[in-house]
Structures are given as C-alpha cells and as structure tokens.
Amino acid sequence: MRDDRLHASRKEPKRWELERPLPPHRENHEAREKSHNFGPIVAAYESDDLTRLADTLAIGLAVEMEPTTWESIRTAGESARPVVLKIPNVPAAIEIDPSGTLRPFRQHGVSVGEEIDKLVTSPGSRMHALRARSRDVALDLLAPMMLPGRFPSRTEFQSVFRWAPIIEVFAYALATRHLAALEDLRERVTAKANTTFSTDECNYCATTHTMAHFVLMSSDAPEYSLIEAAKSSTLNGWTPSLAFTRARTVWLAAAGAKSAAAFGPTAFECYLPVLATARHAFRIFDALFGLTAIALSHGHVREEVLQAVKHHAQMVGDRSVDDIDCVRLAFRSAIEMLKWRAGDHSPPAALDRLGWSRDHEGDGLASPQAFRLDPTDTAPNGMMLGFSALPAILRASPAQHYPRSKARVYRLKLRETEMLQITRRAWLLHPTE
C-alpha cells in the first residue's frame, strides 16, 4: 500500500535535523525522484503494519467523533449499560458508557462486545463515511513520528498514545519492521568512512528515532503481545534494546530501557547468552543495561539478575574483549545499580548533567544533553551515565520522553557536525562489533 497522503505531506530536507518541522512544500517530479534518500522510512509507509495501525487508530477516532452514532446497537432495556465495540484483528475493544465517555482497553482470552467491522462495511452508511474521514486524521497524527525531519511534542505523542491499548501491537510490529532496514544501513555505512555526512547516516538517524517513537508507543503493552510482534526480529543477537543503546545517546538508550522493561523477564533468553559470549564491549553494555532495566522494573527477579551479573563479571576476564576497562566499568555500574535500594531516585548529579528534573517537570527526558551525551560516559558518581539515569528513566511515563510544547522541540536541534559525531561513535570507534 502506498499512502499518497503521507507521501504528499513529506518534503525531503537537505539534511536530517531532529526537530525541524517540515515547511509547506511544493513537490515537483524531481523531488519525488529523490524520495529514495529516505528509503527506509518511505518503505514503512507502504507496509501492512502501518496500514493496520492507521486503520485501527481511525476506528477509535471515528467512534470518538460521534459516539452517539454507535448507540443504535444498544438494545432496549440496556440504556444504563456501556456499549463495547470489539476491534477487528486486535485483542482490544472500546467501551462507550451511557454518558458518551470512551475507554479503549485490552482483551485477553475471550473477547466480548459487538464486532465493529459489521457496523462499518456498508458503503454509503454514516459509520462508513466517519471511518474514511477519521483515517485522514489518523495519518496527520502519525506524521510527526514518521516523517523525516520531524519530532513530536508531548501533546502530539499523547494524541496517539492514548489509543495504545488498540494500536500497540501494530506499533511494535512497525518498529521491528524498521530493524532490518537499520541493519542494512549499518552495513553500508561501516563499509565506508566518508568525511561528510552521508545519506545513509542521515537515514540511520531518522530510522532509529522513528523506531523509538513506536517502541515507546507500545511500552505499556503486556509482554505476551510484544513477544508475538517481535517474532519477525530474527536477526542474530537481537535484544529489545540494542537498536537504541547502540545509537549512543541517552534519550535513545532510555527508549531501549523501556523496551527491555516491557518485555520483562522473558527477555533473559536474549540477554544472558550475549552476556556470556560477547566480545564487543558495547554488546556487553547493552546486555547489562537491559537486564538492569528489567530487574528495576520487576523487583521479584532483581536478586536473580544481580547474582547472574556477578557471576559473569567474574568470568568475563576468561575471554578476549575489545575494551576490558569499559566492560569492567559496565559490570561495576550494573552491580551498583542492582544493589540500589528499591524506590531510590537517580543520583542528583547525574540528573543535573542530563538537564533532567527529579519529578520530570518541564521537558521531562527530552533535554539537549540527553540527545548528545553517551550512556557509557562516566557520571559524577563514577558509574556509567546510562546506569545512573535508569531509575529516572523507568519512573518517567512514555509521554515524558517528549518536550512539553512544539516550540520546545527546537531546543533539541542538532547541528550537522554534532549529528555526524554522534552517529559515527555508534560504529566507527568500535570496528570489531
């Protein structure tokens, strides 16, 4: 499926700037021919996952536009009972109470409610027209998360996230679809070392952030639904966090931590083999970071994770790794954080360095520092910065990963030279990965 509405709203920027809104564009034939410069993002527009996500979001919006339209399915004598509309192909539903208030919710096991598809399949019906109109709105809401050069504000993110129970499965599937494209870009970029910012590097940055938006969109999903959606991720050594920690900024690592925490202890089978066999320091960092995020979010496995990390810390010297000092600091940081008292906040000095407030007031985690600093940097307390920040990351809601207004998005702007440095530290500094 090619969605011309999404394509028509896209203008290719000269370079990828994280938060610059796209200006009204007058796309000519030549500009259309250059659309391959953002191939991975454009390919997602044509995916079944995006189609299903947009269509499902449109259902919720259609119901919200005119909730009284759906009252016709309420039978006599049930005026005081809510209407429940089942979402097709998703274990979720929308409840409309007698006052017209909507509540999307997950269903697991036996689904209940009226199948909504039966109510909108009649061409020319009022409900059919509502759904068609709401799809345009859905695509507009998704644009800041999908289009190169865009970055959503908190309000823009929340306008979609509030429908998470009915769209989260498709959101995570869309994120995993980007993963294969990300690996292809990585192979192309590591094969050459240009001195200028290349199209592939531009694509890599845009793709990673797009993945992060949809992973955060699904970060409250139950783990069984994420596991199902992740089955398409057959890449060797895949973990729920690697695509984000490897990008080497604290903001993206925070998305990786949320992803690991959402998978929960079921992700141990991904992380523990990496911890036992990896020779690249950053793969070891990712495994420790993901395991620590899970342990801090699921207290009943905290001691189990601590003992496993201690064991592997003793064994890591028995194999050759490319940066033993970095590996030892990562193990030490993970162990210290796993011993952290439950409920404690991140160290204030680490929060100050990241420009984060303790209560996530203001722009939350979306600070200029978080978009630039490496999670493997050493924090003022001697631990790696990513580990010091984990309690604050895990306390923040998904919406608190975004600035509080569209105007504040401009604070996140990265110059091309900064983007070049950040992107290249993700792969050129460690060629053995």
Q: In this predicted model, what pLDDT tens digit does every residue of 291-323 receive, in sequence order?
A: 999 999 999 999 999 999 999 999 988 888 888
* Both tokens assigned to 401: 């990963």
Q: What is the pLDDT of residues 59-89, one digit of tens each?
A: 899 888 877 666 666 555 566 678 888 888 8
Give me the sign of the Cα torsion angle 114, 117, 118, 120: positive
pLDDT band at 27 (very low <50, low <70, confident <90, very high): very low
Q: Looking at the predicted structure, is the pLDDT value of residue 164 above 70?
A: yes
Has residue 112 got a pLDDT over 60?
yes
**Rounded to whole angstroms, how far apart are CA atoms 318 and 312?**
10
pLDDT in tens, 326-346: 999 999 999 999 998 766 778
The mean pLDDT value of the chain amounts to 80
Pick the closest to residue 126 from 63, 58, 51 (CA basis).
63
Q: Does residue 218 surpass a pLDDT of 60?
A: yes
Task: Give the whole-angstrom CA distance, residue 415 versus residue 84.
Answer: 49
Higher local confidence (pLDDT), 427 or 384: 384
pTM: 0.84
- Give me 173's structure tokens: 């599937």
Report pLDDT for 304.
97
If one compares 126 and 235, the residue with the highest pLDDT of the two is 126
If pLDDT is split at 50, 70 and 90, which confidence band does 191 have?
low
The mean pLDDT of 161-174, rounded to a whole number, is 93
Burial (0-12, 13-18, 19+ Cβ within 10 Å), 267: buried
Report the 10 Å Cβ neighbour count for 321.
Answer: 18
Q: In the prediction, which pLDDT does 250 show?
A: 97
Residue 124 φ then ψ, to 5°: 90, -10
Assign 17 a pLDDT band (cuts: 50, 70, 90): very low
CA dihedral 301, 304, 310, 314 (to 10 degrees): -140
Please answer whether residues 193 and 154 qualify as being in contact, where contact means their C-beta atoms are separated by less than 8 angstroms: no
pLDDT at 157: 97
Q: What is the dihedral of CA 49, 50, 52, 53, to 10 degrees?
A: 110
Nearest CA to 9 among 173, 129, 145? 145
pLDDT at 50 over 90: no
pLDDT tops 90 at residue 251:
yes
Q: Is-contact 156 147, C-beta < 8 A?
A: no
Going by pLDDT thresholds of 50, 70 and 90, the confidence category of residue 25 is: very low
